Every structure is written in structure tokens, then in C-alpha cells.
Structure 1
Amino acid sequence: MLLRLGFFLAFITTALAAKAQGDSVLLKPVTVYGLPDEKYLAGSQFYTLDSALQKQQDSRHLGEILAFQFPVYFRNYGNGMLSGISLRGTSPSHTAVRWNGININSFSLGQADFSILPTVAFSDVKVHAGGGSARYGSGAFGGTVLLSSVGGSSDILSVSQEVGSYGRYFTSLKGAFRIRKFSSTSSLYRVQAQNDFPIPHLNERQPHAAYWQQGIVEHAQYTISNARRITLDYWYNDAHKEIQPNLGSNNNTDEQDDRNHRFVLSYEQNTAQGFSKITGGFVDDRIVFNNNLTEIVRWIGSASHQFVVAESWHVSGSAEWNHIIGKIKEYGPTSPVEDRVDLAASVQKDFKNVAWSFNLRQPFITHVSAPLLPYIGADVVLFKNAKQTWTLSANASKNFRAPTLNDRYWQDAGARDLLPETSYAAEAGLTWRRQNFNVNTRGFYQWVDQWIQWVPGAQGVYRPRNVKQVRTDGVEAGIEDRVKIGPVVLQGKVAYQFTQAITEKTDNTDIASVGKQLIYTPVHTGSGTFGVLYGTWSLNMFLQYSGTRFTDAANAAMYALDPFLLADMSLNKSYAHGQHGFDFSVQLKNVFATDYQLYSGRAMPGRNINFKISYHLTRKQQ
């Protein structure tokens, strides 16, 4: 560990020394602006959620929208129930989810539940596909979902109301104001559904599946000067679910409540010496399952600084600390306390036709030996003229995931000596852009070692163990275009992914899985969005395709879930007069009444409809 720390500090010292040399030849002060993650992760694939689509579909949870936009699979335990993401063949615990810079994965379960991530709560959504632990820390194997709630809308007031099938209602209220140096944006939302849809092929409606969710998002900012500001972000989310039973079972009475408090206070400074940010945060995640409370409390502190060396080398250094308290009775009479410290550094440089970056991170975790995590990547412009650009991208990385608190501290089962999961990942891709036409292809590979799995032990008690080696590889491709024909605009985007996620090695408890595809990991995944715009009218279609998914380790065909193609449509109309604007939308979901399941034995609704109306009061133009 000391050797790793020495290597890391040597890297930082070298960068600082280079900065000192660079400063000596500068003739005038340089104002430095923080680079986006895309620049520090050269060679990577980033997906950005379309802002117009996000606005139209903001009543859905985030998993529903991402499944239509990108080739990604979600394991939904029913409509509105627990939803886990599977990126590039990895499990839900192998995707990091960060909100306003802090990790919001459950530190007890190891994953984020996308059914309680309401799209209306976010102003910006990005997905980084592939290994990114050197930039984002623990769990960033398959990718990272980056969420922001920072306001910035031109609306003073926005009100939306939606009514839909099976007792579904959605309401949101947003307000913003600015008084001299102080500004604030607040959002309130609530969604509820009886969720009693008819079950295909059964003469009954879905029982015990009602849910509701409500919350508030606050972003406040005080501008000290043009170069300094203080921001406060707070997000409270409260959700209740009746746990949807398996098909044919009507005796399930399980219920769950999720209550999350997330608070971030930041100070930013942007001067000739660089861009600095200091952040303090607090997270309180509570789950009440059948009146049994589990709670994880986190205190967070971080500091980062970015600067320019010799006017062209961008260097970033950061430190983050998480103090974690596990208040769960199954951990024993004493609540375990864990500290995680991450030191990270990044370098980015643009040459004539090459953008290059290097990242290095060293985590330190209580009683866990975490590895040094490098990332290197580059984007190379092979050909460029006024009409088209050909770009080659490539990267390689080492990644890790720390064992969860449940893995380590669960009474009479947890293992304190578990090793962190590690992986080696590499990918390469080619992009062709010709005006609005864009074609992107990419191949990826990842080897995951020390995969943690709960396996039966003595007396049938399940215990976590490092038992698997898994290989994931595949190809993803996408095509996007936008064409204007007279007053009509046509736009479309399709994406496809071929993924193999194979167990290469395991112990005798799961020997049947060797050489087989991981469960709930489709080999073929696709998505598509198509739109027709005419003046203030728009018609959109959304497609989601998933191939066969195996539900047992031996890949028995008789237990596999069939492929499906899901289609949604929406008709939208906007009207504006002065500062006042109205949006009307009719959304038809599951247009073809497809009978499908995202998790075995959990029914999903057939064709259903929603009506939505929104009012916006915008600021006067200066």
C-alpha cells in the first residue's frame, strides 16, 4: 500500500512541478475553466439523454427512458418495482450512479434502484459506458450514470399534470427566482398508480402492486463574484411500494418504503491559478421493508483542483472522503463504521489530431486492500474536412468494486476477508460524422476477477464469497440522423449491442454456469427513437428490443424469457404566447400490446395511455 501511495504522490508531484515550470513562461494570467468528464476520459463512449425527450417523458422513472435511448437492459421486478441496470453484460452492482458528484448507489446492497430515480428530478443525464473506476471510483465496471440537478431553466414557473391508465397520476411543480447574487430553483413531484393492469392470458388484474413516490429537489446558488460561488443542493425522495407478487401468487403482502435525504454544499473558485472546488455532503438512505428499518448514513468531503500547464496540458487532482455508518440490526449489536478515501489525478492534452488523457486513482478503505486504478485513452482524428470527420477512439483501464456492507457485516454470514472485485477493460471504436448523420461502432472487452456471489454453505446458509471469473465482450453500433424537408423535420436514432457475458471459472457450488451466459443478460439488445416535427407539433416513436434472457445458471431454454419488441408513441403540441406556454401530450405505451417480462414471473402491463398538460411561465427577454 505504501508503494502505491508513493507512486501516486510522485505522479502528483511531477504534475505540480510541471505547473511551476509552465507558470514561469506565461506572459499573462490565464483563466481556467473546469473540463467536462468527456475530455478527461478520452477514448470513451458517452451517451447524453436528449433534453426534448427528457422534458416530454419526465413523468417516467429514469430506467424506462434509458432503455429506449441506449442499448441497455433493465431487470425490472414488475411495473414500477425494483429496477436494476445491466451495462455491457455486467450486473446492476457494476454500474456507478452519481448525483451532483456524489455516489448514490446503496452501500448496503451495492446498486441503485432506477424505479426511484424520477426523471423529473434531473436537469441533465449522461451515461459513460465501460470501465471508469479511475475517474468515478468503486463499481464503475459496466459504466457510470451521471445525474445533475442544477436548475438553469428559463422558466419562472412550470406546472405539469398527467393522468393515465390503471389509476396513474403524476404532478410536478417547478419554480425559480433570482434576487441580485442569489438564485434558487425548486422542484416538487408526486407519482402514484393503482397498477392493477390486466394480466395477459389470465382472467384477473394484477394484485398488490400499487405504488407512490414524491419528493423535492432544491438548488440554490450565491454568486460571490464572477469567479466565486457557493451552491447548495438538496434532494428528498420518499417512495412506497406494494411488492408485486409472482404470476399466479396472490398471497404476497410485502411492502417497502424508501426514504432518501441527499445534501451537497459546494464552494467553487475559478481564477488564473485554476478551478477549485470544495464539497461537503450528507446522505441518509432508509429502507423500511415490512416495518423492518435499515439505514446507511454517510458524511462526505471532497476537494479538487484543475489547472493548465504551459497553456495546453490540463491537470486535475482530487481527494474524496466517505464516512459510512451502517445502522442495520442484522449487522449485530454494534453499527459498523467504515471510512473510504480516494485520491485521484488526471491529465488531458489536445494535440493537432489527437486528444489524450490519463487517470490514476488510489482508494483506501477500512480493512480492504484496494488496487491502484489507471485509465488511458485517446481520440484520434483520422480524416477531417468541411463535410465529414472520421475519428478512432480507444481506451484501457483497471477497475474495482469494494464489497458491500451486507457482504462484509451481515451477522453470521458476512465475510470480513472478502477481496474487492477487479477487472481489466479495453475498447476501441470508429465514428463517422457527416453533417447531422452520425455512425458509431465500438468493440469492448472486460475480464472480471474475484466476482462476489452469495452461495450456499453449511446448513444451507448463504454466504458471500469471491467465486467467479467472468469475461464480457461484444460490439455496439449506432446510427443517428436529422433531415429537414420543407417545414418538416425527421430525426431518428437506432442502437444495437451484441454482448457475451460468460462465466469462465467458478467453484463447485455453481459449476453448471461455466461457459454459460450470465442470467438476465441478453446477447442482443436494441433501442430506437424516431420523431417527426412540424411547427409546434411532434410525433415520436420509441422502440426497445431484448433478445432471449436466461434465468438459470445452466442456460436451460425451457426457463428462458422470450425475446420482445416494445413500442411506445407520443403526440405532442406546444403553444406559446408571450411569457406563457402550454404543452399537450398523449402517450400510448406498449402500442402492440406485447406480452413480455423483464424478470421471470413478474407481469408487465399491456397497452395503456397517458394524457399530460404542462404550463410554463418564462422570464422576460432582456
Structure 2
Amino acid sequence: MTIRHQFSAAFLFCFLLSFAQEKAIDTVYIFDNQLKNSKKFQKIQTLNQEDLLKNTTNLSEVLRFQSPVYIKENGRGMVSSPSFRGTTAQQTAFVWNGININSIFLGQGDVNNLNLLSYDQLEIKSGGGSVIYGSGAIGGTIHLNNELSFDKGFHSTLFLEGGSYHTINSFLKTSYSDDKLSIKISGNFVKSDNDYEVPEKNYVNLNGEYDNRTFNLGAAYKINTKNRLSWQTQIYDGEQHYPTSEFGTKTKYLSNTFRSLLAWDFISKKINNSFKVAYLQDDFQYFSNINQPKSSGGSGDSYFAKNDFNYFFNNQLAFNLITEYHFDKGEGYQSGIAGVSRNAGSVAGLLRWNPNQVLNFEAGVKKDFVEEIATPVLYSFSGKMNVTNWYSFALNISKNFRYPSFNDLYWKPGGNLDLKPEVSHQAELGNNFKYQNFKLNLTPYYIQIKDMIRWLPTPNGYWSPVNTNNVESYGLESQLDFEKAFENHQAKLSIGYVYTHSKDTDTDLFLMYVPQHKIFGNATYKYRFAEIFVQGMYNGLTYTTSDEAIRDAINPYFVMNAGVNLTFLKNYQIGFKINNIFDEIYETTAYFPLPKRNYSANLLINF
């Protein structure tokens, strides 16, 4: 049975299970328990289902309009990569339920091959996190969380959307839980002809269609008051046709992903322990001509075992020991990568001290052991002080790294077995202000990256990766939040400004695809059954070449979206949205404009 047939059967089963009553929520279990500790010291932006449904096109849209991350996207729904604080996509870690899922071949994640509506919650954490989340967690981490509720009974959600360019988007999520058992099943389907036009650029998005489907199954069982077993599995199947010119050759990319995670949690007064084992499989195929056999591809398997042990000496002092082992193996096609594998493990220790309600401290050290690669000792230190009831500050200092991917090491011709890991040192000072219904965060930061891996041309006519760049990045992340409810009115406002100065210190030139200025904002107003929301996003001048050529740079742009949602009979909601209201002509990657004004309508049912 193919993945598509498995998905169809699962989607039908999901629908049949969905009709029943519901009860009040008791507890919610999220698989990534380290994020809870990080929130004491670093600003972590949490986006729940109601936030994600405001940008249902894809995960790129969510990050573009609702986070400080810059998204480089080769056309709507195509290859997409993030940039935190002036770093690259390889220096961003994607974390699925506590497990780093960056590609073992590329060392990064493709944003648009992570189906947005497959997750219950998205959390965005700026700043280094290699002590906890490993290789690649230099600029920031993007957390894709699935959660399970207990003592809730039956509950289901159905979402259907139709939009411009013959776009169809849907998901069905259903769950059952009592005080011992929790089960959740969900399925997603997305399809679009994606044939938009930008006449001013003489551009038609030919061969830009895409479709994908995802199936999720999660379960948790409380054995007794101290022990709990949980399981999370995800299957993804996607197809992207890459845009081409009228006379160009049509290409496409197929990707299939399987992820499964089993966790055993033990909780007592003195000891909390979480043991996880996981298996990840990624298969991808590229067709340089859609009418011919595949021209390149690969298949990778990763096996994880991770133990997170916490011992509480008292209410003020705790010790955390994190041990991890994973084995990666990959097989390439037309890449020269044949049967490569790698063993890797790590040991990290963290000491947490909370002497009173004013002060919090955390210090950590980590050593990675990667087969045939010398790795540095990493560290982290965080301290927070609640100065007054309206002001607090948090200092974070860390050393982080990324080791070379399979492509970096073994691609033929060009792979370089002598590559060293990228190493970064960074510091940030988070300033938090609160006044009535307002919250303001101001976080200046500094990052220094040594031995950045770059692919450069060689005298032999092919490209090869080398440790060449030393990068210095500094700037400011800021966000103002306002929320107020009175009688039948609810208002919510969030505005963020990001300043980024990121340069190659050897050339004194700005890095490509790192805008110095980004502003993003979201505002929502609810009155009884009606909700109106608007979004805006401004990006400053963005260089697309390493020589800061203005003629090739992406000019500043401002894009605004708006929508309305109407709720009736309590559990039914219909919505309408206008994307790019002002018909802005813009692109995030040179020569790949994104759509002008377009529309969508949706139906959301909770039962």
C-alpha cells in the first residue's frame, strides 16, 4: 500500500471516529519538555492553531508574517529556507517534538516540506541552543509540536479551504481521551495549480503546481501516577513542480518522510526522567525532466535514543543530565554518495538554581562525539532577574556549532572530508517590560561564527565546500504585545521590529539574503461572533549577491493581508481572507516573484 493510499484510509478512519461529546480539558502533554525551561530566560514565540489558521498557505507564510525570521522562498510553495539573526538555513534547527530533524544530506530543513497544519503548536526560539538541540542550533530553533490532552472525551476539527490558483487546503483532526488514555489522529491534504502571474515582471509561474498530504497518529497512556508512555508518528508525501520559463524543461521534486517517536516519562518528587527512541526516514527524488526517470535523489535513515534526567535537590536547585545517541545512514543517487553512515552521541549537564523569586540561573556544558569529526566543548549560561513588577532582564551566553552534512563530506565530485565544524559564540540581553495590558521585549544580540562552510568553485571546474567565512552578526529583536478583553470585545495586537547587521569579516560585506530591517505586525479584533484581523510585513533592502550589487538587490517592500471570521451555532466558523491587499510586487528570492492580490475562503467545524 502506497503512502497516498495509507493516508486516504487513515483520513476516512479519522472522519468516522469524530462524532461524539466532549469534556473539559484536564492536562496537556507536549513532547518537548526542555522548552518549558528555556522560556524562563529567552523569548519564545508560541503560535497555536488559531494563529496558524491565519496563514494557511504554508509554513513560510506563518514565519514571514508572524515571526522575526526572514524566509527565502523560490516562489510560492517552492523550496524555502529560514534565516535567524543573519545566519543561514543550515544554522537553523528544526525540532520535531524534541528531536532535531534537519536533513542529514543538506544539514537544513525545507520549510515548505513541513506541512503547516500537521502540528498543534509552533514555537520560534531565537538564539543558540546546541547544548540541548545539537548541531545547527546556532541562529535559532523552530519547534514543531504535537500535543495530547487527557480527560477531554471526544473532540474533532474539520477545516476546508479554497483559494486562488485552484488551491485546496484541508485537515481533519480527531481525538479521544480519558484520565488514563489519549489518542489523536489527523490528516492533511493540500493541492494547488499555483499558476499565478506578475505582469509587471513579465512573469508567469509555469509548472509551479504542488500537492502534499500528511497523516499523524499520537497516543499516550498513564500507567500509574509516576509513569507514562507516549507515541507520535507522522507520514508525509509531497510533490513540487519547480517553476520554469515558457520554453524551459519542466522539473519536479518528490519527497516522502516517515517519523516515529516513542517516549517513557517517569515523574516523582525528586526525579523526572524522559527516555525517547525515534526513527526518521527521508526519501527524495529530483527529476530534471518530468517525462524522464529521476536524475538525482537520496534516502536517509536516522535512529535516535535520548534520555533527559532531572534530579531536584530541593525547590531551589536541580541537576539535568541529557545523553543522546543517534546513527545516520544515507544512500544517494547520482551524487556519488554510496552507503555512508555516521555514529554520533553527546553528553550534556545543566545546573539550575532559583534562589528566590527574583533570581534564576542556568549553566550547561556539553560534549559531542561525532564519528571522524573533532567537535568542540559547548557551554551555555543564562541568568534572569525580576528587578520590579514591570521590568526584568535575562542574559544568555552560549557556544554552539554545526558539523558537516553528508553532502558536505561525500558529494562527488567536491566533497571535503577535512571540513571542520562551524563554531559560534553569542550573547544576548533580553529586556522585558510590562504595563497593564502591554508587554515589550527588547533583545540586543551578538553572534560570531568561525569556519562557516561555503561551497566555492575550484580550478577543476566543480564546486567544493571549505571552511572559509568568519561572520559577525549583531542587532536587535523587539516586539510589543497588547491584549485586552472587556464585555463582548477582545483586542489583540503584536508588532515586531528586527535590525540585523550581518557581515563576512574577511570581506567586510553583508551576507546575502539578510535584510537589515524587518517589521511585522498582527492585529485582531473580536466582537461576539465576528472577528477581523490584519497582518503587515515590511522587509528592507536585501542583497542577493556577495558583492553587495545594488542592481541585483531586492528592493524594500510592504505586504498586507486581512481577513474576517464569523462564528455561528457555536461550533461553525466561516472565513474569508485577502492576501497582499495592495497588490505589491515583491520577491524573497531574486527572479521568483510571489503572488499579487489573491483570495481564499474557509470553513472550520469543531464537534
**Matches of 2:225 and 2:247, distance apart in 1:** 61
* Stretch deviating more after TM superposition (45-54 or 302-311): 45-54
Which of 517, 521, 539 does residue 510 from structure 2 map onto? Answer: 517
Task: Give the aligned length.
Answer: 567
Amino acid at match of 2:593: A
TM-score by length of 2: 0.90
Secondary structure of 2:409's counterpart equals helix
Q: Is the 8 A contact 2:330 2:337 kept in 1?
A: no
Which of 45, 51, 65 does residue 43 from structure 2 map onto? Answer: 45
**Matches of 1:180 and 1:493, distance apart in 2:** 37
Residue 532 in structure 1 maps to residue 522 in structure 2? no
Residue 371 in structure 1 maps to residue 368 in structure 2? no
Q: Deviations over 1:480-510 (max 9, x none)?
A: 11234653322211000110110012xxxxx
**Matches of 2:179 and 2:546, distance apart in 1:** 61
The match for 1:559 is: 552
**Matches of 1:182 and 1:488, distance apart in 2:** 37
The alpha-carbon deviation at position 250 of structure 1 amounts to 4.0
* Stretch deviating more after TM superposition (259-268 or 155-164): 155-164
The alpha-carbon deviation at position 458 of structure 1 amounts to 2.2
The match for 2:455 is: 454
CA gap of 1:429–1:273, structure 2 versus 1, over 3 A, is closer
Which of 561, 565, 581 does residue 568 from structure 1 map onto? Answer: 561
Q: Is the 8 A contact 2:124 2:143 kept in 1?
A: yes
**Matches of 2:88 and 2:58, distance apart in 1:** 19
**Matches of 2:32 and 2:48, distance apart in 1:** 23
Q: Is the 8 A contact 1:42 1:378 kept in 2?
A: no
The match for 1:599 is: 589
Residue 315 in structure 1 maps to residue 328 in structure 2? no
CA gap of 1:302–1:294, structure 2 versus 1, over 3 A, is same
Secondary structure of 2:60's counterpart equals helix
**Matches of 2:259 and 2:341, distance apart in 1:** 19
Residue 423 in structure 1 maps to residue 421 in structure 2? no
Which of 66, 73, 78 does residue 81 from structure 1 map onto? Answer: 78
Secondary structure of 1:115's counterpart equals helix
Q: Is the 8 A contact 1:171 1:189 kept in 2?
A: yes
* Stretch deviating more after TM superposition (35-44 or 224-233): 35-44
The alpha-carbon deviation at position 344 of structure 1 amounts to 1.2
Residue 294 in structure 1 maps to residue 298 in structure 2? yes
Which of 264, 268, 279 does residue 267 from structure 1 map onto? Answer: 264
Q: CA RMSD in A?
A: 1.9
* Stretch deviating more after TM superposition (174-183 or 204-213): 174-183
The match for 2:606 is: 616
Q: Deviations over 1:555-589 (max 9, x none)?
A: 01111011111111110112245xxx111110111
The match for 2:437 is: 436
**Matches of 1:69 and 1:183, distance apart in 2:** 31
CA gap of 1:452–1:584, structure 2 versus 1, over 3 A, is same
The alpha-carbon deviation at position 68 of structure 1 amounts to 1.2
The match for 1:28 is: none
The match for 2:8 is: none
CA gap of 1:566–1:410, structure 2 versus 1, over 3 A, is same
Gaps of 5+ in 1: 1-32, 506-513, 618-622
The match for 1:480 is: 481
The match for 1:235 is: 234
**Matches of 2:39 and 2:381, distance apart in 1:** 8
**Matches of 1:468 and 1:323, distance apart in 2:** 29
The match for 1:359 is: 364
**Matches of 1:609 and 1:333, distance apart in 2:** 44
Q: Deviations over 1:191-212 (max 9, x none)?
A: 0000111223156642110000
Q: Deviations over 1:307-360 (max 9, x none)?
A: 201332122111111100011135647411101101111121223311111121
The match for 2:141 is: 144
The alpha-carbon deviation at position 420 of structure 1 amounts to 0.2
Residue 102 in structure 1 maps to residue 99 in structure 2? yes
Identical-pair percentage: 23
**Matches of 1:43 and 1:175, distance apart in 2:** 35
CA gap of 1:253–1:533, structure 2 versus 1, over 3 A, is same
Amino acid at match of 2:232: D
Q: Is the 8 A contact 1:265 1:279 kept in 2?
A: yes
The match for 1:114 is: 111
Q: Is the 8 A contact 2:337 2:410 kept in 1?
A: no
CA gap of 1:547–1:204, structure 2 versus 1, over 3 A, is closer
Q: Is the 8 A contact 2:55 2:61 kept in 1?
A: no
CA gap of 1:219–1:517, structure 2 versus 1, over 3 A, is same
Amino acid at match of 2:510: Q
Q: Is the 8 A contact 1:573 1:585 kept in 2?
A: yes
**Matches of 1:466 and 1:274, distance apart in 2:** 43
Residue 497 in structure 1 maps to residue 498 in structure 2? yes
**Matches of 1:484 and 1:614, distance apart in 2:** 23
Residue 349 in structure 1 maps to residue 342 in structure 2? no
CA gap of 1:79–1:277, structure 2 versus 1, over 3 A, is same
Secondary structure of 2:315's counterpart equals coil
Q: Is the 8 A contact 1:34 1:306 kept in 2?
A: no
Q: Deviations over 1:236-280 (max 9, x none)?
A: 1111010123xx554131100111000101111112341111111
Amino acid at match of 1:480: D
The alpha-carbon deviation at position 419 of structure 1 amounts to 0.3
Amino acid at match of 1:360: V
Q: Is the 8 A contact 1:40 1:347 kept in 2?
A: no
Amino acid at match of 1:85: P
The match for 2:18 is: none
Q: Deviations over 1:128-173 (max 9, x none)?
A: 1111111211111110111111233956222111111110001211
**Matches of 1:255 and 1:228, distance apart in 2:** 47
CA gap of 1:346–1:615, structure 2 versus 1, over 3 A, is same
**Matches of 1:501 and 1:131, distance apart in 2:** 16
The alpha-carbon deviation at position 410 of structure 1 amounts to 1.0
Q: Is the 8 A contact 1:342 1:361 kept in 2?
A: yes
Amino acid at match of 1:118: N
The alpha-carbon deviation at position 603 of structure 1 amounts to 1.9
The alpha-carbon deviation at position 229 of structure 1 amounts to 1.3
